Amino acid sequence: MKLRRWIAAGAVAVATAATLSSAPATAGRSYDPADQSLRNLALRHGLAVGTAVDMAALDDPADPQYRKLVAAEFSTVTAENVMKWESLEPTRGTYNWGPADELVAFAEQHDQRVRGHVLVWQNQLPGWLTSGVADGSISTEELRDILRDHITNVVTHFKGRIWQWDVVNEAVSDPWDNPSTLHYKGFWAQHLGPGYIADAFRWARAADPHALLFYNDYNIEVFGSGNPANDKTQFVYDMAKELRAQRVPIDGIGSQGHLGTQYGNYDTFQVAEALRRFAGLGLATAFTEVDVRSQLTEGVQAGDSNEINPRLQASAANFSVLLQACLAERHCLSFTVWGFTDKHSWVPGWFSDPPEGLATIYDENYQPKRAYQLMKADLVYSGPPYVLPRVPQRPRR
């Protein structure tokens, strides 16, 4: 599917050390902040801008542009898959550190920080673990020990090299689940009870005193009814508040930011308010997996601009809402897109009925979309030196 001709393209900036606070003229040409990378534009805000990284794409010699853009545009990287349990320990007791180590080394080479993803999640678990629990060969007591050892081994292996860890991921149900009342869901809650969450944070802190420890989830961008029975954000807020009261070493809340243009989405004020409320608990926040997918109707797939353009505009608006809210809240430390190009997006492979895509800030040919340009504009025009007090105008005589 070739959508390139309908996606607003712009020059991809590969900037070095220039920042917005100094606006030099080079070879007679005025400094243009729009020529800067996302990572450099975010510097004056103290904000890290990151991407999830597909290691197969990063290592593909036939696709050098992927590697080039990861290095040039982003100040943090997240392993899309190679730090998940099934990848790290496919055979019990035998760890495959190679791909994850390679990503961390790449980040260090390019002066980037690393978000560790993920220590505890009910998905992408190794078969030896789930089958052992299912057939009874792994008892509840042993399972808890296995989890503790996994967290300890992984965090210790990367100690001092990970900025933020997603310690526990997606532990809370959704209102459309059965039962509809929100609850702790999944493999770990089923077998260990909700106390595993506090345990996981304590074990991670013991292994690395300096990494920031996050709880990470989707559909927590804004508060809804305020009722923890059906408001997932409220449920997570109450959980975090209780963890803090128990002196559990949780440092932050990660809001994934997986959105879709077919839904009624949020405004900046709603999202900023949610970030402020979490900050009120003494927690940092981050957007950790941002993408905005669209339904790939027959018209979209046929290249109909009447269907493509509104989706690109809606996508850009959603990226902008989340980024503006993050910029407005000083405790929002990082903004990570979940892959930056449609060429390597998880969305088409996951959402197939109906098909969805167009979820990232670059098209499949590495041309920046409207979303990329709007993110740049948000970073540029969020205060001085490019937004200054108005110049009063006096009547002419």
73 is catalytic: no
Q: What is the DSSP letter of 396?
A: P
Annotated catalytic residue, options 73, 80, 89, 170: 170
Tell me whether residue 289 is one of the annotated catalytic residues.
yes
- Alpha helices by DSSP H, the chain: 38-41, 55-58, 64-73, 85-88, 98-109, 127-134, 140-157, 186-192, 196-207, 232-245, 268-279, 298-301, 305-328, 347-350, 370-380
For residues 345 and 291, the answer to whether their CB atoms sit within 8 Å is yes
Residues in CB range of 223: below 8 A, 6 or more apart: 231, 233, 234, 237, 270, 273, 274, 277
Cβ contact 99:77 at 8 Å: no
Check: CB of residue 149 under 8 Å from CB of residue 199.
Answer: no
Alpha carbon distance 150, 153 (integer Å): 5
For residue 13, the one-letter residue type is A
Candidate list 289, 307, 356, 364, residue with the active-site label: 289
The owner of tokens 């690395």 is 208
φ and ψ at residue 172, rounded to 5 degrees:
-110, 140
Q: Of 83, 23, 28, give the one whose Cα is nearest residue 52.
A: 83
Residue environment code for 144-159, b if the CB has 16+ CB neighbours within 10 A, otherwise e = bebbbebbbebbebbe
Alpha carbons 200 and 159: distance in angstroms, whole number: 16
Residue numbers annotated as active site: 170, 289
